[in-house]
């Protein structure tokens, strides 16, 4: 790619594109061929302070803007996003290696996140309470927090970037956003462009991009800034733990949406066709790089013969390669580090006796980021892949002898994000649902699903707090008790 084709962007602070205080840029690398896709300003802790200044200054007028005026901005943004859809899909393929089918899902869902944010603006925002004082009014108002810090990952950028800002903004907060170094455009600046075109006032959303080497310092400054009242973080459990500790030090609430080790439980009486379809999609959508991806297929042993050969045949046929090809399903991993992580898990398992039913974890592709789909079985607890989040195009099949054993294995993990249960017996499926510990679970479906009306979030080391639905609104507002006594309190004791 000619240098002139490389996108160059500054930080977005107070409605202006500005250079980083360091004067430096960070390269944003295209995963498929390793070329530079964009150069973005490498923000610093001082830039976080400037962004928080702008967000704080914008808060009074944004938080008091009339509901219809604010709602129009989100509805227009949904239309702008749709209008820019093809450009966004091309950007996703280039910046993150996403397949066309996953990019389309990202786009459609991002638009719905904006429409749901618009709807949130005209929902009731409080409660009228009982009171012991005759004639008085006692209210629990829901009010915005002030400035919200939003830190997001690269793996479903339009969805996760928009999710980190849409409801926080809609309910009246202003935001300082720090998108992933692997997707600063599609997870940050592209979303800000859409909202700006829709009329979001300057300073309401500020975007500070950064170099990976500075991520710790930039995020620490964001959490420590006294104007920032709440942080939301979507990303790995390791980084989430750092953020949770720092937020606690500063007595700030955090929403942490972290990793998963999601099971697809296939019970004895499951429809094998449905099980195969669900498992192919669940494990290999976005090359397995979704927090909700199926890491583990836990199947009753009586179905193994009906399931495994058909599953493996389908996996072998998945088109792999360049994400610019609309037929590609399994594209590159996000970077060489990601590919090396998956390869090492597969090779460790193979060396310790796992069976590889297809694939071997070899790294290919022009940039060393492509791994062809891998299906493993005979995986035991001494193998790293047993407990680690794979986050790539590999999945493990665990045959079990009973529903009881399936539940025990599903719960034998530090994570608890999502999962699926396939069964024709609704009673049996509901019993599994009630005993698997996860924030989300689906019957007759696998784990990948999201709707902005639903409470999304994990338990255990998959994090805490919710995006989506009423719980999502509560995450980014606080309750304030207000009383009104029309003519003063009737009696004081002295
Ligand atoms: P990551 O944790 O490496 O990065 C996420 C964010 O953290 C980025 O913005 C990055 O700059 C920042 N960061 C990195 N190092 C940091 C440090 N030392 N201190 C502070 N911040 C730092 O995660 P990723 O690779 O971008 O995303 C993949 C992970 O995210 C997977 O574990 C996946 O399961 C998880 N995820 C969870 C959800 C969910 O909703 N639960 C959704 C998508 C992804």
Quickly state the pLDDT bin for 165 (edges 50, 70, 90): very high
pLDDT of residue 3: 59
The arithmetic mean of pLDDT across residues 251-262, rounded, is: 98
Choosing from 152, 207, 213, 235 the residue with most ligand 1 atoms within 8 A of its CB, the one to mutate for a pocket test is 235
Q: What angle do CA 485, 488, 494 make, to 5 degrees?
A: 130
Q: Whose CA is closest to atom 35 on ligand 1?
A: 235
Least confident span in 1-10, 57-66, 183-192, 257-266: 1-10
What is the 391 CA–ligand 1 centroid distance (Å)?
12
- The whole-number pLDDT of residue 322 equals 97
Q: Stretch 260-274: mean pLDDT, rounded?
A: 98
pLDDT in the model for residue 1:
53
At 320, list the tokens.
């792999």
pLDDT > 90? residue 263 = yes
Query: Residue 40's pLDDT band (boundaries 50, 70, 90)?
Result: very high
> Is 4's pLDDT higher than 80?
no
Ligand 1 proximal residues by C-beta, below 6 Å: 151-155, 160, 178, 180-181, 215-216, 219, 234-236, 239, 242, 257-260, 291, 389, 391, 417, 458
112-158: pLDDT as tens digits:
999 999 999 999 999 999 999 989 999 999 999 999 999 999 999 99
Is 95 assigned a catalytic role? no
> What is the atom index within ligand 1 of the atom nearest the CA of 153?
26
Q: Residue 492 — pLDDT band, cuts 50, 70, 90?
A: confident
Active site residue 291: yes
Out of 291, 305, 414, 451, the active site residue is: 291
Task: Count how many Cα atoms sit within 13 Å of the Cα of residue 76 in the half-sphere of its side chain.
Answer: 14
Q: What is the pLDDT of residue 242?
A: 98
Q: Is residue 2's pLDDT more than 70?
A: no
179-200 confidence digits (pLDDT tens)? 999 999 999 999 999 999 999 9
Average pLDDT over residues 355-361: 98
Residues 455-469 pLDDT 10s: 999 999 999 999 999
Reported as a single tens digit per residue, the pLDDT across 439-491 is 999 999 999 999 999 999 999 999 999 999 999 999 999 999 999 999 887 77
């Amino acid at each position: 790619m000619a240098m002139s084709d490389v996108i160059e962007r500054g930080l977005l602070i107070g409605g202006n594109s500005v250079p980083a205080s360091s004067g430096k840029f960070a390269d944003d690398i295209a995963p498929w061929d390793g070329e530079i896709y964009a150069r973005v300003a490498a923000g610093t802790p001082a830039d976080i302070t400037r962004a928080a200044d702008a967000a704080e200054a914008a808060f009074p007028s944004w938080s008091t803007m009339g509901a219809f005026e604010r709602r129009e901005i989100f509805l227009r943004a949904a239309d702008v996003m749709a209008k820019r859809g093809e450009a966004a899909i091309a950007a996703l393929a280039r910046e993150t290696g996403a397949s066309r089918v996953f990019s389309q899902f990202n786009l459609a869902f991002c638009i719905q996140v904006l429409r749901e944010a618009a709807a949130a603006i005209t929902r009731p925002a409080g409660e009228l309470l009982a009171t012991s004082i005759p004639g008085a009014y006692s209210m629990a108002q829901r009010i915005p927090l002030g400035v919200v810090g939003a830190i997001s990952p690269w793996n479903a950028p339009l969805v996760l970037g928009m999710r980190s800002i849409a409801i926080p903004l809609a309910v009246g907060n202003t935001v300082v956003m720090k998108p992933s170094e692997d997707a600063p455009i599609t997870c940050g600046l592209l979303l800000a462009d859409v909202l700006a075109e829709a009329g979001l006032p300057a300073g309401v959303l500020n975007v500070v991009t950064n170099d990976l080497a500075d991520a710790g310092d930039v995020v620490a400054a964001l959490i420590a800034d006294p104007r920032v009242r709440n942080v939301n973080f979507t990303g790995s459990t390791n980084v989430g733990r750092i953020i949770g500790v720092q937020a606690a030090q500063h007595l700030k609430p955090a929403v942490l949406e972290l990793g998963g080790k999601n099971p697809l439980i296939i019970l004895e009486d499951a429809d094998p066709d449905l099980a195969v379809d669900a498992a192919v999609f669940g494990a290999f959508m976005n090359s397995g790089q979704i927090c909700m991806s199926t890491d583990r297929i836990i199947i009753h042993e009586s179905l193994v013969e009906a399931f495994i050969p058909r599953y493996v045949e389908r996996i072998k046929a998945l088109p792999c390669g360049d994400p610019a090809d609309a037929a590609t399903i399994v594209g590159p991993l996000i970077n060489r580090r990601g590919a090396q992580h998956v390869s090492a898990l597969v090779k460790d398992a193979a060396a310790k006796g796992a069976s590889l039913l297809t694939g071997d974890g070899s790294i290919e592709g022009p940039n060393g980021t492509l791994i062809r789909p891998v299906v493993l079985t005979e995986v035991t607890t001494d193998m790293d892949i047993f407990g680690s989040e794979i986050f790539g195009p590999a999945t493990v099949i665990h045959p079990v002898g009973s529903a009881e054993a399936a539940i025990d294995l599903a719960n034998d993990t530090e994570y608890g994000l999502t999962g699926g249960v396939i069964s024709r017996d609704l009673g049996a499926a509901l019993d599994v649902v009630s005993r698997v510990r996860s924030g989300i679970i689906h019957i007759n479906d696998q784990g990948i699903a999201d709707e902005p009306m639903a409470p999304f979030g994990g338990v255990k080391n998959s994090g805490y707090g919710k995006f989506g639905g009423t719980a999502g609104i509560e995450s980014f507002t606080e309750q304030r008790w207000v009383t009104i006594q029309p003519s003063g309190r009737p009696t004081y004791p002295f």
